[in-house]
Amino acid sequence: MSQSNTQSSSGSEIEQLKERIASLEEKLLRVSNIYRYENLQNLLKEGKWFEADRETVRLILAISGQSIIENLRPSEIELIDCSELQVIDRLWLTYSNNRFGFSIQVKIYQDLGGSEQTTIEQDNRLIEQWGDRLGWRKGGKWIKCSELDYAQDAAIGGLPGLWWNSPYGSKMTNYFLARLMNCQI
């Protein structure tokens, strides 16, 4: 290969790298407080799945301006910033080798036939099938949060799981699934 071809190839790679850096910087600017996620990142990095799951709940509540899950109404889910949910999802995906995260959960829901329309219809049969696939149901019944599997080899999409346990039940589940789909997560 001639020197000019090598320089041309290197120049192209440098330009691509500059574009990727600019894109990452732009994405970081969308997140209002990047340090907010440091604890979640550290917990996930250490494989502390249960603690990371609890931190995920805390983060979503903080993002939504609430301190306890009982105060968060399904209608307020629509106001949660997509970029914040995307950061949480990316952290789960990264540190679980693409086993856990909201995007995995949404994909499983969609693979079962779920859509924004089924969330509007609040198709409980579909939510139950989804729960079965995520390992959140056994013997046709929802398991308690204390029984969730926090092993690295838990069911694909099974985490984060605590967030989904809302006092509003499947109504909150449907609203949150719709939000994730609207955010293209």
User: Do residues 70 and 107 share a domain?
Assistant: yes
- What Cα–Cα distance (Å) separates residue 46 from each residue in 37, 52, 57? 14, 10, 18
User: Do residues 26 and 43 share a domain?
Assistant: no
- What Cα–Cα distance (Å) separates residue 19 from each residue in 6, 14, 25, 30, 68? 20, 9, 10, 17, 41
Q: What is the pLDDT of residues 50-109, one digit of tens each?
A: 999 999 999 999 999 999 999 999 989 999 999 999 999 999 999 999 999 999 999 999
Confidence of residue 26 (pLDDT cuts 50, 70, 90): low
User: Do residues 39 and 9 share a domain?
Assistant: no
Each residue of 139-160: b (16+ CB within 10 Å) or e?
eeebeeeeebbeeeebbbbbbb
**What pLDDT sits at residue 131?**
97
User: Do residues 62 and 106 share a domain?
Assistant: yes
> Taking the CB of residue 79, how many other CB atoms lie within 10 A of it?
10
Domain that holds residue 48: 33-182
Segment 29-56 shows an average pLDDT of 88
- For residue 55, the Cα-to-chain-centroid distance in whole angstroms is 13
User: Do residues 53 and 21 share a domain?
Assistant: no
**Is the confidence at residue 31, as pLDDT, over 80?**
no
**What pLDDT sits at residue 114?**
97
**What pLDDT sits at residue 20?**
83
**What pLDDT sits at residue 27?**
62
User: Do residues 130 and 162 share a domain?
Assistant: yes
**What pLDDT sits at residue 35?**
84
If we measure between CA atoms, which residue out of 52, 124, 120 comes closest to residue 91?
52
Total number of domains in the chain = 2
User: Do residues 55 and 121 share a domain?
Assistant: yes
Q: Pick the residue with more confidence: 29 or 162?
A: 162
Inter-residue long-range contacts of 33-36, CB under 8 Å, 24+ positions, other chains counted: 36/62
User: Do residues 89 and 169 share a domain?
Assistant: yes
Is there a cis peptide before residue 160, judged by omega within 30 degrees of 0?
A: yes
Please give the sequence-ordered ranges of beta strands (E in DSSP) within the chain, or none if there are none. Answer: 137-138, 141-142
Separation of alpha carbons 20 and 22, rounded Å: 5
User: Do residues 37 and 23 share a domain?
Assistant: no
Contact 40, 52 (CB under 8 A): yes
User: Do residues 110 and 172 share a domain?
Assistant: yes
User: Do residues 175 and 97 share a domain?
Assistant: yes
Q: What is the pLDDT of residues 108-144, one digit of tens each?
A: 999 999 999 999 999 999 999 999 999 999 999 999 9
Segment 159-182 shows an average pLDDT of 94
Q: Is 0.85 surpassed by the pTM of this model?
A: no
User: Do residues 20 and 37 share a domain?
Assistant: no
Confidence of residue 2 (pLDDT cuts 50, 70, 90): low
